[in-house]
Structure 1
Amino acid sequence: MRLPALLFIVLNPYSQAQERRPVDLVLIHGTVVTMDADRRIIEDGAIAIAGERIIAVGLSSQVTSEYDARKVIDARGALVMPGLINAHTHMAMSLFRGLAEDRSLEDWLQKYIFPAEAKNVTADFVTWATKLSLLEMIRGGTTTAADMYYFENEVADALKEAGMRGVLGETVIGFPAPDNKTAAAALTYTEKFLTRWKDDALIIPAVAPHSIYTCPEKLLKDSAALARAHHAPILMHLAEAPYERDVSRREHGTSTVQYLARIGVLGPDLLGAHCVWLDQADIQTMTHSGAGCSFNPSSNMKSAAGLSPVPEMLAAGVPVGIGSDGAASNNDQDMFREMDLAAKLQKFARMDPTALPAEQTVAMATITGARALHIDKQTGSLETGKKADVIVVDTGAPHSTPMYNVYAQIVYALKDSDVRTSVINGKLVMENRKLLTLDEPAILKKAEEYKKQVASSFTH
């Protein structure tokens, strides 16, 4: 007797077999911390990656049944989470680490850093100093960095070589700089920089007017106009310290935020670094403008710049990320430490243990930081269609055992040295703590050579 067709389909063991789709990489058997809108945490989870994008997030059993990977990474005993986003740094300042300590921001900049830069910063210096920061960042789980410095073409080249994602701002400043001696030259250089890196897979070029106290009004306006003509982000220091607050009040009759809004610079394409000296009116102006902010706890504590009103900004809808600042003012690029300090500093200053809870802090270092940089459609969470920026973080060390709450563990217990593997834009850049894109011995050797040069420049 011939079976009906429908019944045959049910009984035939081959009828429902699906051919598994080929992919480049699958990470399996980890605790997947998605940081998506639902904050899904998937035990025994997996993600599949094809090219530069995530194409599946789910249970290991589901993902492995649907995808055939060229390479499989077993993340058992680890978290699989979005790569960390360093929302403000100066990577090439790593070679000034420890140069001038325990000073006010004004003295530190005017008497030490600006002179040191004038004497030492060249294209080659920036290349090697950036690579030194990248060693630390990749080892510590950072997959995106927002940078402001000089010779930003060299910064971009170093990031491309390392495989790091970056929002990179060429610094425009109102006095002769190492790469450009006039404002006109700086703007011309920056326009070429924007054109060269437009639509790059890893590099988002930006314009970075340093601050209101180093840039005259015309230069601020010209920088913003250049950025907007090229649909590029604007990165700048904003309301960073009492010194800047006093300059703004004296010269402009208002706060930094209100001044930038008045002259048309503040907007949804701007990321303000620090945002310490903001009152409620400033926060509302930031909210309405659509601008983002970077909270830099270590740097602000060390320079006694003050406490950024982060909970108030977040409550008002201002996207706030976390940044390390440069190694000359921090003195490292450890985003796990920055998360820990970000939460604890807000709690301590307010005498409120509920301020800036762990889950919100992790979001600031991932999806909210991406939103502050206006790149949240690309990265910041583990979701189908997004760029594959993923880290695998071990949880089995004594300092992270046992684990009851994933977010608390990330913020208060885990360390940068717990990062096992890093994937950026779908490419492995570190596997089992082995760096795959950078020559660490060569970089460290070059750093020691430059140390002698920098030290010598301050003794003659």
Structure 2
Amino acid sequence: MLLIGNGYLVTRSAVNSFIKGGCVALDGKKVKEVGTTDDLRKKYPDAEFIDAKNGVIMPGFVNMHNHIYSTFARGLSINGYHPENFLDILKGQWFRLDNELDNKMTLASGRVAYLDSIKNGVTTMFDHHASYGEVDGSLDALSQAADEMGVRTCLCYEVSDRNGEAQMKASVAENARFIKAVAQRNDDMQHAMMGMHASFTLSDETLEYAKSFTPEGIGYHIHIAEGISDVTDSLQRCGQPVVDRLYNAGILGKQTMAGHCIHIGPSEMQLLKDTETMVVTNPESNMGNAVGTPAAMTMMNKYGLTVGLGTDGFTNDLTESYKFANLIHKDHLADPNAAWGEVPTMLFENNPKMANHYFQTKLGVLEPDAAADVIVLDYSAPTPITADNINSHILFGMNGGNVRDTIIGGEVRMRNRELQGIDEAAVYADAQVQAQRLWDNINK
């Protein structure tokens, strides 16, 4: 038994959503109960106790869209790279990077990304991988890294036609193999999807080929209309909008996750709603790539879509994305009232709800039988903290650096900002070796 108490307990549960001087009791991989610190310490006097020291205790964050392979782009300079648009960014940087990634690099980047997630309070991550330098076994490398760090993860490989038929088929095979492999684990720590890049790099034949290897109950993790090039390609080559094309190909559905959805129209939003397709937005990445702002407020308020929040490889700190999402929609709509309710719903409600399309243990809440995924944040509030204003305190007063303790599945992964059972220095030393090898290959 493990108790985490003496703090402001934010349970995100319909009952007892906020307890001052609160405590959560963990029994194995799940939450046993919540209550006041005094009550639970009396009830479980022999339990190990983590003192939140009047900080904030809350469920771990869920990142619904990441690209671990982007880890080694930090500080990278590519000879002759001067992008003028999003397509230039893809071809000039990301496609060149993933064409050189091998499994040693993938493993090293995975260790860093999952380690950094722990430090930022992210306990569950959905990743969208590409490493055309070595496809076979690449998801195993990420799986190994996730196991070593103890982070929940859902993985897929990015199927694309951009490197020819042989590598397209290899990427489908990697997805199919890994989907079967994680089904045998039965530990609810890892799951899998069929990954796809985007409509403009996928032929009709490839869509059908990938579908033939996708088991029932497994959906697709795909970018939709992130850049305008995706839209023009679908209209010119296929005679229909991107969402319509994917709907007709049988790609949409309640297990499918659509990344970005920036350049889609009302009828496409309705199709996403009709098929119960999940949408995940990535504000920092969108701003960095200058691709535009998705109509997330319209998707949520008019069409009732389930819209979540991801980082798209830009960061592993979801509180950063929370802040940027709050700002980008206000700025885009020129409306200071926009996004106050919708963005917290994305992060604190929709992300766990979406993740639970794959993970069986209830995520994103601290209540009996939910996942024992808990984080403690150092935070000295200059104003009172209440159930009504906790989201405002997180938005304006906290970031990933405030995370002091991270518990995943009942296992303490970070305590007092020290990673448990992980040689952080060794992880970063190996990462620098592998990153330099990658950079040398890119610029050779």
Q: What TM-score, normalized to structure 1? A: 0.87
Contact kept, 8 Å, 1:368 with 1:380, in 2: the verdict is no
Kept in 1, the 8 Å contact 2:198–2:222? The answer is: yes
Matching residue's letter, 1:389: D
CA distance 1:361–1:216, change in 2 (3 Å): same
Tell me how far 1:416 sits from its aligned partner: 0.8
Residues 320-346 of structure 1 show CA distances to partners (whole Å, capped at 9, x for unaligned) of 1111112xxx2x222111100011111
Is 1:116 matched with 2:67?
Answer: no
Which one of the candidate residues 439, 447, 454 is aligned to 2:423? 439
2:288 — aligned with what? 302
Question: 1:401 and 1:455 mapped to 2: Cα distance?
Answer: 45
Q: How does 1:50-129 map to 2 (within 5 A)?
A: 50-99=27-76, 103=83, 104-118=85-99, 120-129=100-109
Q: Give the superposition deviation at 1:54.
A: 0.7
- Distance apart, 1:375 and its partner CA: 4.7
Q: Which residue is equivalent to 1:10?
A: none
| Alignment deviations for residues 9-61 of structure 1 (CA, whole Å, 9 cap, x no partner) | xxxxxxxxxxxxxxx21111211112224681111111111111111122223
CA–CA separation in structure 2 for the residues paired with 1:232 and 1:395: 40
Fraction of identical pairs, as percent? 24
Query: 1:210 aligns to what SS in structure 2?
Result: strand
Instruction: Tell whether 2:197 aligns with 1:197.
Output: no
Q: Deviations over 1:266-314 (max 9, x none)?
A: 1001011111112222222111111111110010001111111111222
Q: CA deviation at 1:224?
A: 3.6
Letter in 1 for 2:336: P
In the alignment of these two chains, the number of paired residues is 425
**SS where residue 57 of structure 1 aligns?**
strand
- Alpha-carbon deviation of 1:261? 1.0
**After TM superposition, where is structure 1 displaced by more than 4 Å over at least 4 residues in a row?**
none
Matched, 1:407 2:391: yes
1:94 and 1:321, CA in 2 relative to 1: closer, same or farther beyond 3 A? same
Q: Which amino acid aligns with 1:323?
A: G
Q: Which amino acid aligns with 1:126?
A: T
- Equivalent in 308, 313, 319 of residue 336 of structure 1: 319
CA contact (8 A) 1:83 1:422 kept: yes
What amino acid is aligned across from residue 122 of structure 2 in structure 1? Answer: T
Give the distance between the partners of 1:91 and 1:448, measured in 2 at CA.
15
CA gap of 1:68–1:170, structure 2 versus 1, over 3 A, is farther
1:161 to 142, 148, 167: 148
- Decide which of 359, 362, 376 is 1:392's aligned counterpart: 376
Alignment-mate amino acid for residue 143 of structure 2: A
Aligned with 1:354 (options 337, 345, 348)? 337
Please name the residue that 1:370 is paired with.
352
What amino acid is aligned across from residue 124 of structure 1 in structure 2? K
Structure 2 residues without counterparts, runs of 5 or longer: 131-137
Go from structure 1 to structure 2 and tell me whether the alpha carbon gap of 1:384 and 1:221 turns closer, same or farther (over 3 Å shift).
farther
Alignment partners' CA distance in 2, 1:235 and 1:159: 19
Using the TM superposition, give the Cα deviation of residue 135 of structure 1 relative to its aligned residue in structure 2, in angstroms.
Answer: 2.3
2:266 maps to 1:280: yes
Confirm or deny that 1:380 pairs with 2:364: yes
Cα–Cα, structure 1 residues 38 and 287, in superposed 2: closer, same or farther, change >3 Å?
A: farther
Deviation at 1:243, TM superposition (A): 1.3
Please, which of 218, 221, 224 is the counterpart of residue 235 of structure 1?
Answer: 221
> Is residue 2:258 matched to residue 1:258?
no
1: CA distance between counterparts of 2:44 and 2:276? Answer: 40
C-alpha separation between the residues in 2 aligned to 1:200 and 1:175? 35
- Structure 2 counterpart of 1:324, which letter? T
Match for 1:116: what amino acid? L
Q: Distance in 1 between matches of 2:119 and 2:82?
A: 28
Distance 1:94 1:252 in 2: 35
Would you say 1:271 and 2:253 are equivalent positions?
no
Displacement of 1:395: 1.0
TM-fit CA distance, 1:253: 1.9
Mapped partners of 1:276, 1:337: distance in 2: 20
Q: Is the 8 A contact 1:92 1:127 kept in 2?
A: no
Q: Cα–Cα, structure 1 residues 197 and 69, in superposed 2: closer, same or farther, change >3 Å?
A: farther
**Greater alpha carbon shift after TM alignment, 418-427 vs 52-61:** 52-61
Match of 1:139 in 2: 119
Paired AA for residue 295 in structure 1: T
Between Structure 1 and Structure 2, whose CA radius of gyration is higher? 1
Structural RMSD (CA):
2.1
Deviation at 1:384, TM superposition (A): 1.4
Structure 1 residue 181 displacement after superposition? 4.0
CA distance in 2, matches of 1:169, 1:33: 32
User: Which residue identity lines up with residue 319 of structure 2 in the other structure?
Assistant: F
* 1:457 and 2:444 correspond: no
Q: Distance in 2 between matches of 1:227 and 1:37?
A: 36
Give the deviation of 1:225 after TM superposition. 4.3
Letter of the structure 1 residue corresponding to residue 140 of structure 2: N
Work out whether residues 172 and 210 of structure 1, in 8 Å CA contact, stay in contact via their aligned partners in 2. yes
| CA distance 1:218–1:70, shift in 2 (3 Å) | farther
User: Aligned residue for 2:196?
Assistant: 209
Asked if structure 2 preserves the Cα contact closer than 8 Å seen for 1:102 and 1:302, the reply is no
> 1: CA distance between counterparts of 2:261 and 2:365?
25
Give the AA of the match of 1:292: M
| Residue 314 of structure 1: aligned partner | 300
Structure 1 residues without counterparts, runs of 5 or longer? 1-23
Q: How many Å apart are 1:389 and its aligned residue? A: 1.2
Which is worse superposed, 308-317 or 85-94?
Answer: 308-317
Summarize deviations over 1:59-97 as a string: whole Å, max 9, x none.
Answer: 223333333453111113211111111111111220122
Contact residue 257 and residue 285 of structure 1 kept, 8 A: yes
Q: Distance in 2 between matches of 1:306 and 1:277?
A: 8
Gap change, CA 1:213 and 1:68, over 3 Å in 2 = farther
Deviation at 1:105, TM superposition (A): 2.0
| Higher mean C-alpha displacement, 299-308 vs 245-254 | 245-254
TM-score (norm 2): 0.90
CA distance 1:98–1:300, shift in 2 (3 Å): farther
**Contact 1:208–1:223 under 8 Å retained in 2:** no
In structure 1, the residue matched to 2:134 is none
Q: What is the rounded CA distance, in whole Å, between the counterparts of 1:227 and 1:433 in structure 2?
A: 41
